[in-house]
Amino acid sequence: MQLQHERISENVYWFQSEIYAQVTAGVVTGPQWAAIIDTLATPEETLEMRTYIEEQLNVPVHYIINTHSHADHAWGNCFFPGATLIAHALCRKLFEEKGQSALELARQQNPIFKQVKLVLPHLTFTQGQLSLRIGKKNLILLPTPGHSHDSISVLVEEDRILFAGDAFLPLPYFVDGDIDQLASSIKNIGKMGLENIVQGHGDIILRGEIEDAVKENLAYLSALRKAVRNALRRKNPIEFLNSVDIESCKKSRVALGGLAAELHKRNLAALYKKMAASPESQSEDTPDSNDRTI
């Protein structure tokens, strides 16, 4: 099995992609069936994860939770026929509005996506929390917007394990969402008294590392705001922004398999656009599927 995987706690498992930006997924098993949290980025790895669940954990997948609508978290839904799909209501809306065109574009770029079909969430919520009981575990689904407007996280209550999706990343990324919402989601996550944070990409954050990880991510967002405010005072703001490298914002460019530097640039561009227009305006860019994004 190529896919990295690990048992985090009794009946709770984690998978990490070897192919795409260290994207992650989770599984919680009960005596008769399992729920998965996200579906990985490529059919090959999704099917590997499914085989592992069915043959090693000996249970079928009855529920899929999408933390958000991005392709690398949700395009494997179709490989679990019969499973009930749960997500934020906005996730379903984004699938309806942008899903098919993004999939068609991806198919032109890469034939592996020919076998992918979009499956829209069956069960959605907009605010508050949703609980799903699986054997001895209670999963609590809660909105954690910012990376995208439809982002949710999943708490395994008994173990204090949070599958954060892209609300918590080695490099906070908000081009499809909102920096202020992301900052408050990160702060809230820091107050949950967690044992583990399973990031949407990258490695698991252990209890002793959580405080520093939260501080570092919030410091990064503050550094971005400061840099853009500075840029807005300059005669040539874009030139200044191009000089704001990721290290000056207290993050490393090697994060996310080296993708961090590119994502950092996009964060700066999105924030500049928002702050130049007005604090209320938000960018609505549609990600171009042949660009590597998360």
Q: Per CB under 5 A, which region of 11-19, 54-62, 63-71, 88-96 contacts Zn ion? A: 63-71
Q: Per CB under 5 A, which region of 131-139, 162-170, 226-234, 244-252 contacts Zn ion? A: 162-170
Shortest distance (Å) from residue 88 CB to Zn ion: 13
Q: Look-up: residue for tokens 């007005």?
A: 278
Shortest distance (Å) from residue 41 CB to Zn ion: 10
Shortest distance (Å) from residue 293 CB to Zn ion: 8
Is position 150 an interface residue for Zn ion (rule: CB under 5 A)?
Answer: no
CB-nearer residue toward Zn ion: 41 or 294: 294
CB-nearer residue toward Zn ion: 62 or 292: 292
Q: Could you tell me which residues are beta bridge partners of residue 100?
A: none
Distance CA 40, CA 176 (A): 19
CB-nearer residue toward Zn ion: 48 or 166: 166
Distance CA 250, CA 234 (A): 22
Closest CA to 241 of 266, 274, 216: 266
CA separation, residue 78 to residues 2, 133, 211 (Å) = 21, 23, 37
Q: Which two tokens stand for residue 107?
A: 């198919």
DSSP symbols for 18-48: SSSTTBEEEEEE-SS-EEEE---SSHHHHHH
Those residues with Cβ within 8 angstroms of residue 58's Cβ, 6 or more apart along the chain or in another chain: none
CB-nearer residue toward Zn ion: 70 or 274: 70
14, 37 in Cβ contact below 8 A?
no
Distance CA 171, CA 185 (A): 14
Q: Per CB under 5 A, which region of 62-70, 85-93, 213-221, 228-236 contacts Zn ion? A: 62-70
Shortest distance (Å) from residue 254 CB to Zn ion: 20
70, 294 in Cβ contact below 8 A?
yes
User: Quick one: which of 166, 221, 246, 251 contacts Zn ion (CB under 5 A)?
Assistant: 166
Shortest distance (Å) from residue 166 CB to Zn ion: 4
User: Quick one: which of 50, 70, 201, 274 contacts Zn ion (CB under 5 A)?
Assistant: 70
Distance CA 82, CA 166 (A): 26
Closest CA to 196 of 148, 158, 240: 158
Q: Per CB under 5 A, which region of 17-25, 33-41, 65-73, 240-248 contacts Zn ion? A: 65-73
Tell me, residue by residue from 20 to 49, as one string, x for binding to Zn ion by CB under 5 A and - for no binding.
------------------------------
Q: Per CB under 5 A, which region of 33-41, 64-72, 261-269, 282-290 contacts Zn ion? A: 64-72
Q: Which residues bind Zn ion (CB under 5 A)?
A: 70, 166, 294
